[in-house]
Structure 1
């Protein structure tokens, strides 16, 4: 009996040792797959198939897509097109299908997917070894498969994952052939052969770094991995490379993936190019980050710079409106949202490698798909286990700059109203000249818009899908934004070299009181000798149906100037309390700096006191109340002048023009109110709730504005223009009445 017990114990020890050995082998860096989908993850996924609905549904959709492509056959056309053209689109589709087919091979253990990936890669190998530079010469860094190295890098980031998935399916001879004739030359071209593309701090080079690094991880090539992390040895960062949109990159510091984490991200996770390009860059940041986490955990990549990669996902989600669309700050295409594939990646990776924030699961449920890998499995299990909680978007201030000292973006939220206040740095080559600008949303609808970019992305008929010249002549210019323009000249003269050396500073941000939230920023020398201070408050008051915006823009200058202050609204003019005359012949507002693209539709003189303008859009009413004087001009404009190819949207604006002024203050209130039913043909609360705005005090130290409602109640908002700390104590007298408070502002 004792001998039997000893024998059983020995057997158990042997079995246990074998199990530990198996687990060790699965986690061995020599095992494949190991980048995103891991050998351990494959086992876990296979064991749970059929029991995790969102994962199973995602898998089925990918299978149907890949099977359809396999039925069509392999197509590797000789490259010749810009973005949106057939060859460009075909090679782009190929990189997606290769990655998905590789994953299907691992999860379903079906050889047809590995064979498909192998056959396509061999065709690329055959073509690439004799492939010249792309025939289109527009790019500052031409690729071979695509017109720019950026898209070549996209291809390699995805195809690296496919190669990882079928690595063990291939013979050593086949791997050597692919690595010698395709992958290493490909990595060398986008890095060593293209330092103007690779040796930078920019979303382009981030893709390049990730591409070189990921293929290096698959091939266990330490030289490529080092090149990815730290840049090309012996080469300085390129400080003069031009982007395809004509901007310059002029950053100091090191190159490589780590430098691209250090420089563009603020400690809060804001990416200096803006949310549209942050969304684009997050895929290589996070995919390569996950690969490094799995293969080289000693780097602790998700802890780098105080965990900023994972922080950035929360920041990016907060830079979206109620519908999930990203605010179009800087170059940004409207409609881009967290439903895009790169944000599926971001949400899944953040959930697995962050703090398993259950709010992310609600975003994943809206996306209705997960990655077919380890992180996607984690999200699918979290949803299945009922851990989902709403993702709460609250008022937030996101600093800009590597140390958080180069301005930022403040977002005030109350009920369905979202105020986006941009006081960020230039934003690299994708930045716009719009210091202290704002946009306003209600339940996902734009009330006061930021134009975004002038580009039809991947639509070949419009400039090959690339940036249009109007992006420079209109979208980047100051007059295209809701901020002040001086003497019809853009901030920093519209020059990147000047703008990149300057930035606004936060004056204060306060969101503790949900009824009165304020963001305030100041900037010097957008124009020589002129300083700006803008304070915007989102106020919820019992006399108003919805929270309203109070806007105070102070201008101090050494000279007399003309100031233009636009509001880019949507909808139909409803009513004004000032007279205006419509234009019989449409003429441009000016000759340059964006003015040449604005038609004058009507103009008139403001009134002394409050000028009111109401408009109607999407069955809702809106009113702008502005403090004006009799010499102010009010100009109705519409975008579209000097635009023979109809590249610009025909959007309207109302511009308040103040001439021959030195120091001045623009004060306005914006209300959303009422509704209209076309079914019952009834209007509710169609008129403004403001009887009067009035300046009670405007000095270098304080600005005080009284707001009297139509109910006869008056409130007073006072902002400190100098001392703005939460601890600062203030005592002032206005019209014989004493006011004392602690903090940056007073409202009562």
Structure 2
């Protein structure tokens, strides 16, 4: 043990010698970069616009009295929002100080930090905390404290040389050092966790360690509090990302976690370039940024998988940082400049300068959205996310098949879930999270009870529900222990297909989904083919909802509406939140439903081995606080003894023009959808186009070399 301590002492000594002569600033902006940055904000429009926004915000901040309230409110409350304003004000003023040299901005940061230093140590755990374990001091949850520190320490670094040493000593001794102790002590389990909260915590500790020249804290941030590498920055990169850069908690939280990963990476690169952080795991951070961008539709919308706020797009600040750092520090691919132009802003840093300069020089090329399978799991063998795309960025079809791991606590019980985009909008949608972010009147801005009772449940997604029970009966522990498996993926133009299998979600039932985009010459847009198979020896109730956006305009069958007697479809697993609006028990195997979405028609043709019941449903039942947003679906239902197959073909057709009051192509071209040759190993789907041309799609489940054929 004594020998290990001696080794650690000399390691820290060498580290200290490496950074003891450091200059401030040294995170996103370094002193050497400031002259070029000052020139750039006056020359390159994208950087100029971004800097003007920051300067306007900084000027607004210093025009107000310095306010450091005693923490009181939950998310979205007055004190919560004031502390958020303070950390953004600190960073903004730090940037403006570096670019103007005007000491009034540094003085604002100093006065604000001195007030925090005078009060911080007297603050107990936050009074609005949900529990002691995850409580912060400044905010109701420690995560927000970590975010506060990531922003604040950057601002302090930017004005460091403008603050009197005596004041720096006061700020560091009574604010930043107590924060480091709180984060690595009270919050130790979060600091060492493999989770986005842990990422923010370790980034806050590591950045502060660099700025304060505390190498022991940087080492803890890199290797975990025990310095054994089982947690910390490197472990998080290893365990949270697949080799393709897909993040375990899903795209929404990948967006959120990228920010601290990248900020800390920049600091590591500036202070310890020998660690080659941007080269780590075959440029993993570059892959993470690219996979995050691929997990968006062409309108910028992030695929709303797991706990996701659906308003988030690629314009979010985290992805501004991601795009700029990817271009400047890792891979200067010119299609990233296309995203930067859409974002309309850059970081005011050397990274933003490089992007703004390249955009100014007209180097941007259209971003390359691709069809691909993004593997999940640290080794890339724990399922994944399938993405099929067809068409230009201006009018692209995009289909997503979710066959990933559970996604930890933020995961939903939605194995083999399907999303479909077209015409710049969602067609088959996902609810995302039941949460009104930072709106205090709605559950304090946190996740609502309906997030568990509805949004996470299987029926809230476009996937098969067995016996009206959610995957794994809603058990996170069981779901986290297993994953779906990739069966087949091929992005060959004209016949793109992906398939995945789930063996564990329901006891005695194996689920398989095959989804394809099929191009035929008679139609302008590819067809979306979906074949969902349940293999079982027992009798089960199967429900396959399609949550669609738009307005129902036609159906091939008569249905009964229950306008005067609405009832929930069930009492648990999300069914208690669904109104059964109408239903139809079909007397034949096939049917179709047409709906209008954003002036374009979509017809879903469906069939099965036996006649289906079609249920028309909406959300809103058992919702006394009116927390649920309105969603609608048609649900294909049937009981089956033995195996069951549900086939659908969604056709895109026609257009309406409400200005000129014209409608064209409202009638679908597809007809006669039939399932034949239906066995476990092989299925053939037959359909007709314009009543004349017959097409046959054959799926060979046991032949990967001849998996799908179109004739």
Structure 1 distance, partners of 2:540, 2:447, is 33
Equivalent residue for 2:232? 256
Alpha-carbon shift at residue 400 of structure 1 (Å): 0.7
Say whether 1:427 aligns with 2:401. Answer: no
Question: 1:233 offset after TM fit, Å?
Answer: 1.9
Match of 1:12 in 2: none
Q: Secondary structure at the match of 1:638?
A: strand
Q: Distance in 1 between matches of 2:39 and 2:440?
A: 45
CA distance in 2, matches of 1:448, 1:607: 26
Alignment counterpart, residue 133 of structure 1, candidates 112, 122, 125: 125
Following superposition, the deviation at residue 49 of structure 1 comes to 4.2
Q: Say which is worse superposed, 649-658 or 473-482, in terms of deviation.
A: 649-658
Task: Name the SS of the counterpart of 1:544 in structure 2.
Answer: coil
Do 1:578 and 1:607's aligned partners in 2 also have CA atoms closer than 8 Å?
A: no
CA contact (8 A) 2:40 2:353 kept: no
Counterpart of 1:391 in 2: which secondary structure?
Answer: coil
Q: Does 1:522 align with 2:501?
A: yes
Give the corresponding residue for 1:747.
710
- Which residue of the other structure, out of 579, 583, 595, is the alignment partner of 2:558? 579
Q: Distance in 1 between matches of 2:515 and 2:46?
A: 43
Q: Aligned partners of 2:110, 2:675: CA distance in 1, in Å?
A: 73
**1:267 lines up with 2:259 in the alignment:** no
Match of 2:433 among 453, 456, 469: 453
What CA distance in whole angstroms lies between the structure 2 residues aligned with 1:714 and 1:631?
22
Structure 1 counterpart SS, 2:524: coil
Map Cα deviations across residues 210-247 of structure 1 (whole Å, 9 max, x no partner). 0000000101101110111122128x9xxxxxxxxxxx
CA distance in 1 between counterparts of 2:250 and 2:21 reads: 36
Matched, 1:385 2:378: no
Deviation of the 1:578 alpha carbon: 1.8
8 Å CA contact retained: 2:205, 2:217: yes
Partner of 2:693: 713
2:639 to 656, 659, 665: 659
Q: Is the 8 A contact 2:559 2:582 kept in 1?
A: yes
Structure-1 separation of matches of 2:237 and 2:453 = 31
Is 1:158 aligned to residue 151 of structure 2? yes
Q: Does the CA contact (< 8 Å) of 2:414 and 2:471 recur in 1?
A: yes
In structure 1, the gaps of 5 or more residues are 1-25, 237-252, 729-742
Partner in structure 2 of residue 195 of structure 1 = 188
Query: 1: distance between equivalents of 2:253 and 2:334?
Result: 26
8 Å CA contact 1:453, 1:475 repeated in 2: yes
How far residue 558 of structure 1 moved from its aligned partner, in angstroms, is 2.7
Counterparts of 2:146 and 2:610 in 1: how far apart (Å)? 58
- Note the C-alpha offset of 1:335: 1.8
Cross-structure match for 2:653: 673
Is 1:613 the counterpart of 2:593? The answer is yes
Q: Report the CA distance shift for 1:37/1:117 in structure 2 as closer, same or farther (over 3 A).
A: same
- The 3 A distance-change label for structure 1 pair 546 and 47 is closer
Match of 1:220 among 213, 219, 224: 213
1:292 aligns with 2:275: no
Cα shift at 1:672 = 1.6
Distance 1:195 1:72 in 2: 36
Equivalent pair of 1:321/1:327 in contact (CA under 8 Å):
yes
Q: Which of 88, 102, 106 in structure 2 is aligned with 1:110?
A: 102
User: 1:206 aligns to what?
Assistant: 199
Name the residue aligned to 1:644: 624
- The residue that corresponds to 1:361 in the other structure is 337
Relative to 1, partners in 2 of residues 1:285 and 1:686: Cα closer, same or farther, differing over 3 Å? same
8 A Cα contact 1:578 1:606, kept in partner: yes
What per-residue deviation string (whole Å, max 9, x for no partner) do you get for residues 653-694 of structure 1?
Answer: 111111143201111111121111223322111011111112
- CA deviations 1:239-297 (Å, max 9, x no partner) are xxxxxxxxxxxxxx822122111111111111111111111111101011111111111
How big is the shift at 1:497? 0.5
Which residue in the other structure is 1:733 paired with?
none
In structure 2, list runs of 5 or more residues that go unmatched: 1-17
**Inter-partner Cα distance in structure 1 for 2:39 and 2:426:** 47
SS at match of 1:258: helix
Partner of 1:17: none
CA contact (8 A) 2:509 2:534 kept: yes
- 1:74 maps to what in 2? 66
Three-state SS of the structure 2 residue aligned to 1:106 is helix
Give a deviation string over 1:671-727, Cα, whole Å, max 9, x none: 121111223322111011111112232222222212211241112212221232xxx
Deviation, 1:368, is 1.5
**Corresponding residue for 1:550?**
529
The 3-state SS of whatever aligns with 2:46 is helix
Equivalent pair of 1:273/1:330 in contact (CA under 8 Å): yes
Match runs of 1:340-379 below 5 Å = 340-379=316-355
Aligned to 1:323: 299
Question: 1: distance between equivalents of 2:655 and 2:424?
Answer: 16
| Structure-1 residue corresponding to 2:662 | 682
Q: Which residue of 1 aligns with 2:443?
A: 463
> In 2, Cα distance between the equivalents of 1:278 and 1:682?
43
The count of corresponding residues between Structure 1 and Structure 2 is 689
Structure 2: distance between partners of 1:626 and 1:363: 38
Of 566, 571, 587, 2:545 maps to: 566
Query: Helix, strand or coil: the match of 2:127?
Result: coil
2:82 to 90, 95, 105: 90
Q: Distance in 2 between matches of 1:640 and 1:380?
A: 47
With the length of structure 1 as denominator, give the TM-score of the two structures. Answer: 0.90
Q: Secondary structure at the match of 1:263?
A: helix
**Quick check: which has more Rg, 1 or 2?**
1
How far off is 1:40 after superposition? 1.2
Instruction: Describe the superposition over 1:409-428 as per-residue Cα deviations: whole angstroms up to 9, x where unpaired.
Output: 11111122111111111011
CA distance in 2, matches of 1:278, 1:167: 32
TM-score under structure 2 length normalisation: 0.95
> Aligned-pair distance for 1:61?
1.6
Q: Conserved in 1, the CA contact under 8 Å of 2:19 and 2:213? A: no
* 8 Å contact from structure 2 (residues 590, 611) kept in 1: no
Deviation, structure 1 residue 27: 11
How far 1:191 moved relative to its partner?
2.0
- Distance (whole Å) between structure 2 residues aligned to residue 383 and residue 577 of structure 1: 52
Q: Is the 2:676–2:684 Cα contact (8 Å) retained in structure 1?
A: yes
RMSD: 1.7
**Structure 1 contact 562–661 (Cα < 8 Å) conserved:** no
